């Protein structure tokens, strides 16, 4: 992805090295861990799984953050991708006569406090609708490459775009007509996650239109979408799959809806709640 030298977002909060406590600095199994990571990465409410992590109460302040050049470059990359999503969704909302509220992206290390609860890095990237913020520990980039075997900068861009997709859903009140009981169902969760994949595809369409994509970028995103499908995760973790327990969609579904968003390039066409066959 061609990203160096481009605009970075001003909506980044750098809390690296602060643990659960500290003030915010404003800047420019596999087993159960995999289950939690997948749940948060693909938009589940981390407050349902977290909140029992001990907070840093100030008695043991976090050590000074030793940021490497590679980490700083990754932070710049994340900021550029966030800026891209701001441009795309501001334009798409304007077409619908709406104003797009830009989300904040929080960089953290070790653990973080959000309106959805306290989370450790093991939770992975997540979006919290309670404060309209995305939370990312940049160490996840290595997890994406090693644990999920989905390397590449555009694989990480897909993750960010997916989380921003959940912000778009929040602003549009996606599924607002669905009853609270239905919203807690696995079927709703799957449809909600696939719609966020569709929205990530919409962003990728615009990135290509601006000439930002390089050869192999789409393959990286598709590989990441495949790697985090419920069936792929369960097969790796336990050797078999339980379709009734799916909450995020199969690898095939994730790739299909990302592709659909990429081909369509607009918000219209991504309503999974009106589609019989996912």
pTM (predicted TM-score): 0.84
Start-to-end C-alpha separation, the chain: 30
Apex 143 CA angle, 198 and 117, nearest 5:
75
Provide the pLDDT for residue 276: 86
pLDDT greater than 60 at residue 233: yes
Side-chain half-sphere of 209: how many Cα atoms within 13 Å? 14
Q: Which of 159, 137, 152, 142 is nearest to 228 (CA)?
A: 159
pLDDT in tens, 255-265: 999 999 999 99
Provide the pLDDT for residue 20: 66
What is the distance between the alpha carbons of residues 56 and 160, in angstroms, rounded to a whole number? 27
Q: Are 149 and 227 in contact (CB under 8 A)?
A: yes
Instruction: Name the phi and psi angles at 101, rounded to 5.
Output: -85, 115
Apex 271 CA angle, 270 and 273, nearest 5:
145
What is the distance between the alpha carbons of residues 94 and 50, in angstroms, rounded to a whole number? 36
pLDDT greater than 80 at residue 49: no
What average pLDDT score do residues 84-111 get? 96
Query: Residue 36, SS3?
Result: helix
pLDDT greater than 60 at residue 98: yes
pLDDT greater than 90 at residue 84: yes
pLDDT cut 70: percent of the chain above it: 83
Q: Which of 155, 145, 192, 31 is nearest to 81 (CA)?
A: 155
Q: Are 131 and 119 in contact (CB under 8 A)?
A: no
Q: Please count the other Cβ atoms lying within 10 Å of the Cβ belonging to residue 268.
A: 11
pLDDT in tens, 2-33: 999 999 999 999 999 886 654 332 222 223 33
Quick one: tokens of 109?
């290390």
Residues contacting residue 9 through CB under 8 Å, at least 6 positions apart: 28, 79, 80, 82, 83, 86, 102, 105
DSSP 13: E
DSSP string, 61-125: PPPPP---HHHHHHHHHHHHHHHHHHHHHHHHHHHTT----PPEEEE-SSEEEETTEEEEGGG-S
What average pLDDT score do residues 88-117 get? 95
**Consecutive H or E run containing 135:** strand 133-136
Query: Residue 130, SS3?
Result: coil
pLDDT in tens, 126-180: 999 999 999 999 999 998 899 889 999 999 999 999 999 999 999 999 877 778 8
pLDDT greater than 50 at residue 47: no
Report the chain's C-alpha Rg in angstroms: 18
**Mean pLDDT of the chain, nearest integer:** 85
């Amino acid at each position: 992805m061609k990203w160096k030298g481009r605009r970075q977002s001003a909506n980044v909060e750098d809390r690296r090295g602060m643990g659960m406590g500290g003030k915010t600095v404003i800047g420019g199994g596999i087993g159960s861990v995999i289950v939690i990571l997948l749940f948060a990465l693909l938009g589940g409410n981390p407050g349902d799984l977290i909140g029992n992590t001990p907070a840093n109460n100030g008695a043991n302040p976090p050590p000074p953050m030793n940021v490497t050049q590679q980490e700083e470059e990754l932070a710049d990359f994340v900021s550029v991708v966030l800026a891209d999503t701001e441009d795309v969704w501001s334009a798409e909302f304007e077409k619908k006569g709406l104003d797009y509220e830009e989300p904040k992206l929080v960089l953290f290390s070790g653990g973080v406090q959000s309106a959805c609860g306290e989370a450790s890095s093991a939770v992975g990237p997540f979006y919290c609708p309670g404060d309209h913020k995305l939370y990312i520990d940049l160490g996840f980039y290595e997890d994406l490459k090693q644990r999920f075997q989905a390397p590449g900068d555009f694989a990480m861009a897909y993750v960010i775009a997916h989380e921003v997709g959940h912000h778009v859903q929040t602003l549009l009140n996606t599924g607002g007509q669905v009853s609270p009981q239905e919203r807690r169902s696995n079927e709703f969760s799957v449809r909600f996650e696939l719609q966020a994949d569709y929205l990530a595809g919409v962003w990728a369409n615009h990135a290509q239109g601006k000439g930002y994509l390089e050869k192999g970028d789409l393959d990286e995103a598709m590989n990441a979408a495949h790697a985090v499908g419920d069936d792929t995760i369960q097969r790796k973790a336990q050797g078999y799959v339980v379709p009734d327990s799916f909450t995020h969609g199969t690898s095939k579904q994730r790739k299909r809806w990302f592709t659909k968003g990429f081909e369509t390039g607009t918000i219209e066409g991504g309503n999974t709640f009106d589609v019989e066959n996912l």
